[in-house]
Each structure stands twice: as structure tokens, then as C-alpha cells.
Amino acid sequence: MTRKKKQTFLHREKLPNSFLGQRNSYKSSRIVILPVSYEGTVSYGRGTKNAPSSIIHASRYIEWYDEEIDKELCKNVEIHTFPEIKENISTHPRKLVSNIYKKAKKVLNDEKFICTLGGEHTVSVGVIQAYLEKYPDMTVLQLDAHADLREKYEGTNHSHACVMYHFIDKGHTVQVGIRSLSGEEMATIRKKKLEVFFMKDMYRSYSWISNVIKKLHKKVYVTIDFDVFDTSLLPLTGTPEPGGMDWYSLIKLLKKISTERDVVGFDLVEFSPQKHNHVPSYTCAKLCYKFLNYIFV
């Protein structure tokens, strides 16, 4: 009588605390995940500092195979996850931006692709600054419910509400999904003749996607605030706004951008996870992996 060999399984909880649970060195990896835990200027709901770890944890349960593309990105492109940058809430946002800028600049000098996981939207500023130095003619594409065009908010010009104001005179910007802004921000849009796609003009059809693509330069950096989604899909954000995009509208846009332009980097910000609700965390992780698949496969 032959004895059957016992089959062993690696439980997902025992995988490394890295995106997709992968063990890849920095040197061999093309993609770098940069998690930044910070929520120093949030003005409504808190919890965004917990988003990077929550997204990374959820990513370990994602199937590596993408049925739409019919490929497994991980078999062709290695991904390395940096240790989480944990900034105290008392850290001045200007210092945070400076620290992230230095980190991103080094990674870009090593010819890596950066995917930043926030944290509040302020974490994007340092990364975008580093990218603009490398690609001065790139477009900064913002997917967001809010314009984030205030010159100063609650005593600082490094607030999450001021993110895009830093770049309107430094490079080319396009904003998509906007449905909440101040009168002053609208005045800035008109004065600077900014490219803005308001959600009120987008929800009836997909025709706006081609118009967005036409506005983009060859190289594009994408900053995605999770409140661009409708609150029925992703209610757990710092400042939720009803009437946003659905899943297929957003990934249709991301696929089109990845096909027709050179996406050089992106970030995902403003998600506030809940301990006993895993759906939003998984949705955020899935979006991250889906976008990476579009870009690299």
C-alpha cells in the first residue's frame, strides 16, 4: 500500500507584507511600490494614514492572472515594495513633501517606475515634483472629485486642497471627474484656462474619454484620488462626494491612456479603510494592479 504525499499550502496571511505578497529585490524590479502613511492636513474624515497597509494586505488576495489581458504581469515584470514611510501627524506637510521628493528622485534616477500609495493627497506633491524634473513636458492627469486648486487652505499651501495649484504654472495639467470646488478655484480655472472635465458633463456617455486623451502630452503622470469614484462603490474616503465615476468608466479611461500615451508613474490616495469592511481595500488594490497591467502588458 502506497502512502499519499501530504499536500501543503502557503496561507496568504504568511506571505510577505508587500504588494501581491511578492519577494523581489529593488535592483531586479522595474516597478516600485512606495507606501506613504500620512494624514496631517485632512479636513474631514480621518483614516487615510492606514490606507497603504490596508491596500497592500488586500493585494495578496488578488489573482495574478488578468482575464481581460490574458497575461500575468508578475511573470514578466518584478515589483518591489518599499517599507512604509510613516510620518507623524505633527510632521509639517512641507517637510513631508521634501522627504518624498528626495526618495522619488533617487528611484527615478535608478530608472524605476513608481506607484505611490497614500495617505492624503499631499503625498503626491513630492513625487510629481521629482517626475516633472525628469519629464518637464509631461501631463499631470488628476482623477478626482475635488479641484484641489486652492492657493492656501487652513493656513498652509501644502494642504491636500492645494495639490494641483503647485503645478498649474510648472507643467501641463488635465483634471477629470471634478464635481466639488470653490468659487475661487473656478476663477483660477477660467483665468488660467485649465483643462477640466466636470462630472456633470461626463456621466451620460463615454465620448469624453477620447477628448481627455487628445488633451494629454506624450508622457503622463496620473494622480488618482479615490473619491473620483461614486460613493456607492467607494464610500470610504476623506471627503466623499456623490455622483462619481463607476468602475468600468474609470478602467476604460486608464486602458485608453495606457494604450495611446506613455504613463510614467501614478499614485492612489485619499482612501480611509474600515477594519471590518474589506471590499473597498480590495477594490483599491485591484485598481492598482489593473492599471499596472494596462501599462506594462
Q: What is the pTM of this model?
A: 0.93
In this prediction, residue 253 carries a pLDDT of 98
Give residue 149's pLDDT.
Answer: 96
Host H or E run for residue 284: helix 279-296
pLDDT for position 45: 65
- What nine digits make up the cell of 46? 480621518
Number of H helices, E strands in the chain: 7, 11
Instruction: State how far the Cα of 227 lies from the Cα of 82, in Å rounded to an integer.
Output: 25
Q: Which of 124, 52, 66, 122 shows the shortest CA–CA distance to 295?
A: 66
Which domains are delineated in the chain?
18-296 (3.40.800.10)
pLDDT at position 5 is: 45
Residues of the chain short of pLDDT 50, as ranges, are 1-9
pLDDT of 12 reads 61
Q: For residue 177, which of 159, 202, 194, 150 has the smallest C-alpha distance? A: 202
Residue pair 54/118 in contact (Cβ under 8 Å)? The answer is no
Q: What is the pLDDT of residue 239?
A: 86
